Amino acid sequence: MAGKFEITKDRAGKYRFRLDAGNGEIITASEAYDTKAVPTTEWSR
């Protein structure tokens, strides 16, 4: 099974990204960002 990259919104309304392995284990998770654009650009660097 392939891994999965997700951008989610937390309870405080901030955006976070997470990379999950194919087995469901979390590989990495980000800090909170005010806008959705920031985690997207940070990940692509």
Count how many domains the chain has.
1
Partners of residue 20 on adjacent β-strands: 4, 26
pLDDT value at position 1? 73
For residue 42, the model assigns a pLDDT of 61
Confidence check: pLDDT of 44 > 60? no
The CATH code of the domain that includes 12 is 3.30.160.160
Q: What's the confidence (pLDDT) of residue 45? A: 56
Burial (Cβ within 10 Å: 0-12, 13-18, ≥19) of residue 7: middle
The residue with tokens 């960002």 is 33
For residue 32, which amino acid is it? A
Range of the domain at 13: 4-43
| Both tokens assigned to 19 | 């990379």
pTM score over 0.75: no
Q: How far is CA 15 from CA 21, 28, 29, 33, in A?
A: 20, 15, 11, 5
pLDDT tens digit string along 4-40?
Answer: 988 899 999 999 989 999 998 999 998 999 988 765 6
